[in-house]
Amino acid sequence: MNLIIQGNDVQNNDLRAIAKLAEASRIDRITGEAFRLLDAQPHPDITEYCEEASLDHAFVPSGKKLTDFGLIAMDMDSTLLAIESIDEIADMHNVKPQVSAITQSTMRGEISFAESLTRRTALLEGLPQEALQKVYDERVRLNRGAEKMLQRMQSAGIKTMVISGGYTFFTDRVKDRLNLDYAFANTFEVQDGKLTGRVLGNIIGASGKGEILKRIRDELGLSKEQVIAVGDGANDLKMLEESGVGIAFHAKPILREKATFSLNHVGLDGIVNLFE
């Protein structure tokens, strides 16, 4: 077993202390902020030590390679992107506090996603469609390490997919920008150039995300173990359950509890550092 240590400022004394706790045989440098401790053993104090030092840690089987995988599925808002797109749309319509409150309640698993999206979309009624492009142009930001991570995935022959509980207006543009293979999201209704406050078709929520991932996985002829899924909230639980490796990225506790690995400090490029 290898122990991967990552952080924005990894100190040598912390590495040595963790290596001693883990009885590691060697410390290999992966990048300036990622290190692999070989032949590591679990120790009850490692988690607390890493939390106090603001370090991410993950025990990964030796020999686990990035090329062992064939598909990575990602949530969009607050995962691939550094924003909640619906909150930014709401800001254009002067209803951001109301929408943000519903978003946070959903992320904590307090209300169903379908109810949440229906309520949030209803608050956007009357918003001119051109405001969406303004949000995309002015406010959409990728999370740190996103492009580097995707380039590594794509160079390894791994298919890339975003599955969002947000809107196709954004996922379609993100897909084109990042050369993703697949993009799935919800579609809002527009009449006379304005949002009606309604969602068209079946809402993609937690169950829908899992179903889509399973369908694409099967179409590609991949096993569950060949899939990585990345998310940040309760809505991503089913997606992670349909993957061999589930990664909680700067996530809510409900997702961290179920994930294979958690990244709380480094960027998305920290995912590729987990594998050889």
CATH of the domain at 27: 3.30.70.260
Q: Which two tokens stand for residue 193?
A: 């150039």
Q: How many Å apart are CA 32 and CA 125, to the nearest integer?
A: 48
Q: Dump pLDDT digits (tens) for 99-146.
A: 888 888 877 778 888 888 899 999 999 999 899 999 999 999 999 999
What is the reported pLDDT for 176? Answer: 97
Q: Dump pLDDT digits (tens) for 190-199.
A: 999 999 999 9
Domain count, the chain: 2
Do both 168 and 240 map to the same domain?
yes
Do both 210 and 271 map to the same domain?
yes
Task: Tell me the catalytic residues.
Answer: 75, 77
What is the reported pLDDT for 218? Answer: 97
Q: Which two tokens stand for residue 200?
A: 């068209």
What is the reported pLDDT for 114? Answer: 87
Q: How far from 258 is each of 24, 97, 108, 229, CA to CA, in Å? A: 26, 29, 14, 12
Range of the domain at 8: 1-62
Do both 48 and 125 map to the same domain?
no
Domain limit, last residue, from 14, 33, 62:
62
Do both 10 and 79 map to the same domain?
no
Largest Cα–Cα separation, the chain: 67
Do both 57 and 138 map to the same domain?
no
DSSP string, 100-125: HHHHHHHHTTSS-HHHHHHHHHHTTT
Q: Which two tokens stand for residue 80?
A: 């691939």
pLDDT, mean of residues 157-177:
96
For residues 249 and 126, the answer to whether their CB atoms sit within 8 Å is no
Do both 93 and 3 map to the same domain?
no
Domain limit, last residue, from 62, 78, 93:
62
Do both 157 and 202 map to the same domain?
yes
pLDDT, mean of residues 155-177:
96
Q: What is the mean pLDDT of the chain?
A: 94
Do both 155 and 268 map to the same domain?
yes
Do both 2 and 81 map to the same domain?
no
The answer to whether the Cα torsion of 144, 234, 198, 125 is positive or negative is: negative
Q: Dump pLDDT digits (tens) for 13-71.
A: 999 999 999 999 999 999 999 999 999 999 999 999 999 999 999 999 999 999 999 99
Do both 185 and 201 map to the same domain?
yes
Confidence of residue 92 (pLDDT cuts 50, 70, 90): confident
What is the reported pLDDT for 141? Answer: 95
For residues 248 and 268, the answer to whether their CB atoms sit within 8 Å is no
What is the reported pLDDT for 106? Answer: 77
Do both 104 and 40 map to the same domain?
no
pLDDT, mean of residues 217-234:
96
CATH of the domain at 182: 3.40.50.1000
Domain limit, last residue, from 18, 46, 62:
62
Do both 41 and 126 map to the same domain?
no
What is the reported pLDDT for 234? Answer: 86
